[in-house]
Chains A and B, each alone.
Chain A
Amino acid sequence: MKQTQTQAEPIPFYRRVDEALKDPMLQKAVTIAQDRLRNGRIQAGEILGNVDEWRKRAEEIRRHTIENLDSYLEQLAANVQKAGGKVHFASDGDEAVSIIKTIAQEKQARSVVKSKSMVTEEIGLNEALEEMNIDVAETDLGEYIIQLAGEKPSHIIAPAIHKTREQVAELFSEKGKKRLSSETPELTAFAREQLRNKFINADIGISGCNFAVAESGSVVLVSNEGNARMTTTLPKTHIAVMGMERIAPTWRDLDVLLSMLVRSATGQKISVYVTALTGPRRAEDADGPEEFHLVVLDNGRSDILGTKYQDVLHCIRCGACLNVCPVYRHIGGHAYGGVYSGPIGAVLSPLLDGYDQWGELPYASSLCGACTEACPVRIPLHDLLIEHRQDMVNQGDAPMGERLLMKAYGFSTSRPGLYEKALKWGYRAAGFISDGDTIKKGPGPLKGWTDHRDFPRPASQSFREWWQKEKKGDS
């Protein structure tokens, strides 16, 4: 099954971008969130003193884990079973949904509580459960807000950053059938009360998995609100859904990965809660779930193994790349269309679902490299975006103009004389279509580019010319 899209009726990428660019509230909200989360990460890194050594170690651990993924998944499964849990392997989203639906049927479940999980968004779990007339409640405050609004997360870490407090107050007032102010404490108290009832009455709790520790079969969850603890403690059945790559071999490895995850995500030194669950409640426990299920999901991930994109499986879903991305800053998360937004989404979505659906995403980048620099596990994100562009050109998936330009560029750059001429003619020719120093409506192959962004008019003097003159000292 494919990644679920934001809308039932797919809206073209360029229209999503246009809509985002016309929304001043969104621009403001994204900017504030980005700045705060990014500055937090930088400060938290400074406290570490040697953040690059941490990043290198985190990368080494992730690389070793993915290179030996079959072995560690086997160990994880064995240890979950020893602790009394059940493990299910799902090749794709449909299988994962079917496994969870079967458990829900067996338990005759009527209500489910969920703590924030990107992977369940990926497989469209909520919609599937709602079709069975099961009440599904998202319990992370941000997720609860967007669920009431009937929307999708716009940020991995802060899913509702695009909503203003007035919009939240309106949603909550409608839900509670009483007028609420837009003050944060009042809104928070309302959500706490509503969701507390959901937690107590839910038959099943469904969580994601930040890391699964292979050596003990433990699922580790981080949360600031405590909803992950509630979800995994109160309902009689707990189902954790994990992307198959989210393994830490040992608790010592978890030390590095956890330190990097939380600092990179929010700039905290540690999240308010870190919860490690090893199987269901034991015979001597009076609380905790009676049953524990772990669903391990492939859904296109194994196709990335052994390719030049393999490093993308090192991702620990911190969102740091979103918080530094100039494109994300302008268009926000929804414009990306899929579950995963920002640079990581632009690399991952085409790999999971193909270029037909997500071919525009690798172009939603200025290739400035800020994402690569911010990544706590050193995924070369902007290099992978270029790889995507090349692959699309090679496979003929790129727009005609793009293919011609790439070919022409390759031809002329390999012949310096011709390249010089092309640059000069470019400047002159551009005089006809440019508006001062920018080109807003390009002809032919340039059109695809300038439909949605302005292109600077080529310089009157090329760098090579300037450099030659500079060397001679007559500039």
Chain B
Amino acid sequence: MGQSTDQETFLNRIAQKLGRERRSGITPPEWPDHPYQNMTLPVTREDKIRHFIDNLAALDTRAEMISENEVAEKILDVIRRENVRSVVYQDDERLEQIGLGEGLQRAGVDTLKWSAEPDSKEQQLQNVEQADMGVTMADIGLAETGSVVLFNGGGRGRVTSLLPPIYVAFLEADRIVPRITQALKRIDEMAGAYRENGTPQLPSCINFITGPSRSADIEMDLSLGVHGPGKVYVFILDR
């Protein structure tokens, strides 16, 4: 394949340039303390939720706390406000539990549930591309930044939160952590582990999403929705 350099030749050259024997299997240091320990971060559940909401508000994005029986009503609000006609959502048990499918049906919009094994992957992709709005569950929330973290894979496709111009995330309040540190620690714990079939425990794609797609490439002037969704809503489930 191409004229590539043999791995050992490549690595031996590095060792030689560093003026020492070739190294292998180095254990990363456990750094004694973490600089974030001096940051003022929210500790209580209420503070974490408040920070999460405030930090998204600073990005012109609405996050609000709702109870489970408000789901249908809240999603209908967004559908009306944004004039949504078609919605794609993840095949995720947690969305079923909060009655999203029923809520969407009552709203009278075209709905598509993402399928891990569709008849045609190309067709499914096209349908998502045509949809006005995508809905997912979030796996972790970050208070410091107002980010939602998605572990994609299987029924939780990558494109639901990417292609439609409007994106809605549901997030359980207890899944909000102070900052990215805690999320990466969790990923760190999964990183070295493998499933029975030998594939990594880490999903093939993890996304941290913080507000709407943005660019300042034209005269440093902010514009939203360049490639990803230009509007984002987060509903925090009080449970």
Contact = CB atoms under 8 A, between A and B. Distances in A.
Interface string A89-125: 1110011001111110000000000000000000000
Interface string A317-349: 000000000000000000000000000000000
Contacts of A57: 31, 34-35
Contact of B215 (A73, A84, A199, A224): A224
Contacts of B210: 270-273
A370 interface: no
Contacts of B36: 48, 255, 259
B213 A226 contact: yes
A252 interface: yes
B206 A275 contact: yes
Interface in A239-269: 244, 249-256, 258-259, 269
Contacts of A187: 218, 223
A60 B31 contact: yes
9 contacts: A83-B204, A187-B218, A192-B225, A218-B202, A252-B184, A255-B180, A255-B185, A278-B206, A282-B153
Contact of A100 (B2, B17, B162, B204): B2
Interface stretch (A139-147, A356-364, A383-391): A139-147
Interface residues of B, number: 91
Nearest to B11: A70
A161 interface: yes
Contact of B35 (A53, A74, A185, A272): A53
Nearest to A191: B226
Interface string A16-39: 000000000000010011001000
Identify which of A49, A87, A254, A270 gathers the most chain B CB atoms within 10 Å of its CB: A270
B21 to A, nearest CB: 10
Contact of A200 (B17, B129, B153): B129
Interface of A: 29, 32-33, 36, 47-50, 53-54, 56-57, 60-61, 64, 67-75, 77, 79, 82-84, 86-91, 94-95, 98-103, 139-142, 145, 158-161, 163-165, 168, 184-185, 187-188, 191-192, 195-196, 199-200, 213, 215-218, 224-227, 229-230, 233-234, 244, 249-256, 258-259, 269-282, 284-288, 296, 298, 302-303, 305-306
B199 interface: yes
A335 B50 CA distance: 47
A49 B38 contact: yes
B43 interface: no
A302 B13 contact: yes
Nearest to A251: B188
B192 A98 contact: no
A229 B18 contact: no
Interface string B150-188: 001110011100100000000000000000110011011
A87 B8 CA distance: 13
Given A225-B228, A229-B207, 16 more contacts: A64-B28, A68-B26, A69-B18, A84-B199, A140-B217, A184-B221, A224-B215, A227-B227, A233-B205, A253-B28, A271-B210, A272-B210, A273-B228, A275-B205, A285-B153, A286-B114
A440 B117 CA distance: 74
B144 A269 contact: yes
A226 B6 contact: no
Given A224-B214, A233-B159, A251 B24 contact: no
Interface stretch (B69-77, B103-111, B118-126, B131-139): B118-126
Given A102-B2, A159-B217, A276-B205, A287 B26 contact: no
Given A53-B38, A57-B31, A224-B213, A273 B144 contact: no
Given A159-B217, A270-B210, A279-B204, A226 B14 contact: no
A89 B6 contact: yes
A98 B185 contact: no
Given A275-B207, A286-B118, A71 B23 contact: yes
A159 B159 CA distance: 27
A83 B190 CA distance: 14
B219 to A, nearest CB: 5
Given A48-B35, A250-B188, A284 B154 contact: yes
A298 B35 contact: no
Contact of B207 (A165, A251, A273): A273
A87 B227 CA distance: 29
Contacts of A56: 35
